[in-house]
Amino acid sequence: MSSLKGVENVYTQHQPLLMQTLENLAKGKLKEGDYPTVGSSMQTRDRPNEVVVFSIGGTTYEESRSVAQYNAIAAKDGGMRVILGGTFVHNSDTFLAHVAEQMRANDMHR
């Protein structure tokens, strides 16, 4: 267990799965079958300059914040730029409502 001493806000220590995926993309470690690319000129080992991530079903404020922080660092280092989009931006209320709606839909199909 890691120590929380000196940590101002423990909730900002979490990184969304999206960030791990983007880091693997930047390192050329994503499987082409799981993450296809557009166009034939790009090899999976090549590092892209710009990536568009579109989340069907919605994205979160945490993902947006993490991508903004990533882009700020990438702008200084000349790294890849990430554009984040989605069908919806979730907060805790909308996320829980969406989960409840999915549970009701699953119950109706049983």
Total-model pTM? 0.71
End-to-end Cα spacing for the chain = 41
Q: Which two tokens stand for residue 13?
A: 């220590």
Helix-helix angle 61-77:17-27, to 10 degrees: 30
Per-residue pLDDT of the chain (110 residues; tens, 9 = 90+): 456 677 677 666 788 999 999 999 988 888 888 887 776 555 555 678 899 999 998 999 999 999 999 999 999 998 999 999 999 898 888 888 988 999 999 988 77
* Torsion angles phi and psi, residue 58, rounded to 5: 115, 160
Length of the chain (residues): 110
